[in-house]
Structure 1
């Protein structure tokens, strides 16, 4: 539970990137994440995640989910079961419970819908960011996310963020597990070509790094 006074709620903004930003491309210690969705329906989701060191790996190195799990199983550093509610204005209910790594691996293995990704972390100005590099059917999707203990307002948006997708349910991991990015990438790219980059105006002033 959060100690910020908001309880089991997370606050985040999410952006699609053109590729893996240079600032994290050479990172030595990304985190390898494999997760299965036991439920994903209208924004509600129940997820099991296992994660461990991803040093030396790229998304292109990650093959079939079962093969990745076999490699990761003896190196799991964290495992959890998470229940999530729908996104509402950059806010989402999220309750998490840590699991035994061995049990979690087998739950993930038995799940039908998976997401495999490398997570990179970087600190920019006053905010920590995670950049997720998706593998498998979700490649070459790269998504950057800023999360805070309260509403993410007046954000300095890094120049590697192409367009905001905070409110676009297609970019939720539970949706990517069921309908991978490769199946609708061309549709999104056509939309982006028509609308151009979109950044929400609901969260105060969006600033460029030079204005930070």
Structure 2
């Protein structure tokens, strides 16, 4: 239940040609405090409830618990969310033994594209595609919980 991931800006949309899946995601936060976030997400026709703890010192690891919930319950929970619901499309791109999840944001976060990769250790190496830009793993501005309250287009 420990999530280890790195985040990167994306330089262009050439990643779309290599995407194996594409899903629209709507997500809201029931709690967005730094010590823990409680997120409700609708991905395609499925609902999820996720709790994430605070990141460790490196910013690469944190506790994560996720459970699929009925889509109707997810829709009702979205209505209870804090202001600033996130709207994005997630693309999955397989590279070697890893999968990049690339999020293209809409609304007040339009123009922002972020790639994430989950790793089995903080020192694990991986292939870096040419569309991958600067690493932003330790920059909280690129966390979805932050983007929901301080959107990219208002920076």
TM-score w.r.t. structure 2 length?
0.89
Asked if 1:161 corresponds to 2:153, the answer is no
1:161–1:27 CA distance, 2 compared to 1 (3 A):
closer
Find the counterpart in structure 2 of residue 103 from structure 1.
Answer: 73
Match of 1:132 among 71, 96, 103: 103
- 5+ residue gaps, structure 1: 1-7, 53-75, 185-212
Return the match for 1:142 from 113, 122, 132: 113
Contact 1:18 1:162 in 2 (8 A): yes
| Pairwise CA distance, 1:44 | 2.0
Superposition RMSD in Å = 1.7
- 1:129–1:44 CA distance, 2 compared to 1 (3 A): same
**Is the Cα–Cα contact under 8 Å of residues 30 and 38 in structure 2 kept in the other structure?**
yes
Deviation per CA, 1:25-65, whole angstroms, max 9, x where unpaired?
5758411100001111125211000110xxxxxxxxxxxxx
- Aligned: 1:11 with 2:4: yes
The structure with the larger Rg is 1
CA–CA distance in 2 between the matches of 1:46 and 1:160?
31
Provide closer, same or farther for how the CA distance between residues 157 and 28 of structure 1 changes in structure 2, counting only shifts above 3 A.
Answer: closer
User: For 2:85, what is the secondary structure of its paired residue?
Assistant: strand
The structure with more helix, counted as a fraction of residues: 1
Match of 1:38 among 24, 30, 45: 30
Q: CA deviation at 1:151?
A: 3.0
Structure 2: runs of 5+ lacking an equivalent: none
* 1:175 aligned partner: 146
Q: Does 1:50 align with 2:21?
A: no
1:113 is paired with a residue whose SS is coil
Name the count of aligned residue pairs: 152
1:83 maps onto 2:51 in alignment = yes
1:113 alignment partner in structure 2: 84
For the Cα contact (< 8 Å) 1:13–1:152, is it kept in 2?
no
Cα distance in 2 between the residues matched to 1:150 and 1:50: 28
